[in-house]
Amino acid sequence: MTCFERRQFSPVEDCSGAGLYLHVPFCSSICPYCDFAVLKGDRERRKHFVETLIDEIGLYEGFGERFDTIYFGGGTPSLLSGEELERILGTLRRYLDVHDDPWVSLEANPEDVNVDSLASWRRLGVKTLTLGVQSFDDTELSFLGRAHDAKTARRAVEEALAAGFHTVSLDLIYGLPDQSTSMWRRQLDTAIQLAPDHLSCYQLTVHEKTVFGVRRRRGELVELADEPQAELFFETHARLAETGYEGYEVSNFARRPVNRSRHNRKYWDHTPCLGLGPSAHSFDGRARWWNERKERSWSRRVGDGDRPVAGREELSSLELAWEHLMLGLRTAEGVDLDEIRQRYGVDLWQGNGDVIEKQVEASRLELEGRRLVPTLAGMAVADSLALAFEVPGQVSDR
């Protein structure tokens, strides 16, 4: 957590503790672009999943972190009933050291939003509700294989905003094949008119092992070229900035600093997180580990009384420094190389004077004291910007 953010939040809202992520793998239908660990599951299978998740939480009893954010992601967590979510939250409190008033976030699909579900999520203490809207256009929604239509999306946003959550966030996707700037602008303008507290706008990515990946191989799907993609990126940031949404990360926009994602921030600044459920990833400050991806394998391992971990990697100080740089250059705050030196004992000033100077001259980076801050042009190419850096030898180990 940076000093900048500490000025914005009261200590309780600071959320500088560890994060909990719960992966709920079920979806009513599988979208053709999705590469998450998801499956269709009936009521019985979901009930079995909840029992297994509760058992998995018990396997982490006494885990040595204090958690202040809880994020229900997936998949579609809104497919679980209020009672099931309540049992999961109760079990987290029973076995783990959870803040008295944690920041609870829940992802929901528009078709699951109604007066009753909203009331039950509010009762559970959900503070950030993220709606998987993706588009307000029926043709685009059908191309994306979504189960809702534009009318349902609008209604869900309006009802969620009226329900009194601290933050209502919308996910949108842009960069669909043949999508023009004006077509995307219409989506953005509809979202802006509805006035959510937060927006996440993601570029469509086609992954190999998805239905879209297969269609691309067959030549049936042609992705939008880099140039129009970049145009849509700049349009997104320009339009949202002029309507009062701060682009605090490549894909994330907040109406006020308090609406920024507290949980995702932990991934960006290497705060420890524990991930539970199939495919969930965890990080303890030095090592990363991940769960069995397939729900049946995950469930079998938990049934055997094992933590269902499928793999683990220890990260060297150089790797941590490198990740910190890469993630920091995706945020509007940028990255403090002195902080990297203090945390990981890696001096990125060393050997990178020319790289920094060149990027400043090209207007991709600005220097604010010892902090490297990407311009919008820099954020547009954040990953390659980080790749331009040499990672020199360590000056000391932590």
Which residues contact ligand SF4 (rule: CB under 6 A)?
27, 30-31, 34, 36, 38, 74-76, 109, 132
- Residues of 137-147 as b/e, b for ≥16 C-beta within 10 angstroms? beebbebbebb
CB of 141 to ligand SF4, least distance (A): 11
- Compute the distance between CA of residue 235 and CA of residue 339 in angstroms, rounded to an integer: 33
CB of 146 to ligand SF4, least distance (A): 7
Separation of first and last alpha carbons in the chain: 19
In the bound state with ligand SF4, the residue whose beta carbon lies nearer, of 146 and 239, is 146
In the bound state with ligand SF4, the residue whose beta carbon lies nearer, of 74 and 175, is 74
CB of 37 to ligand SF4, least distance (A): 9
CB of 205 to ligand SF4, least distance (A): 11
Q: Which long-range contacts (CB under 8 A, 24 or more apart) does 158-163 make?
A: 158/194, 159/113, 159/114, 159/115, 159/118, 160/108, 160/113, 160/118, 160/129, 160/131, 161/194, 161/195, 161/196, 163/118, 163/119, 163/122, 163/129
CB of 132 to ligand SF4, least distance (A): 6
- Compute the distance between CA of residue 28 and CA of residue 371 in angstroms, rounded to an integer: 45
- Residue 181, Cβ density class (10 Å: 0-12 exposed, 13-18 middle, ≥19 buried): middle
- Compute the distance between CA of residue 80 and CA of residue 73 in angstroms, rounded to an integer: 11
- Compute the distance between CA of residue 328 and CA of residue 93 in angstroms, rounded to an integer: 32
CB of 34 to ligand SF4, least distance (A): 3
- Compute the distance between CA of residue 256 and CA of residue 185 in angstroms, rounded to an integer: 22
CB of 98 to ligand SF4, least distance (A): 25
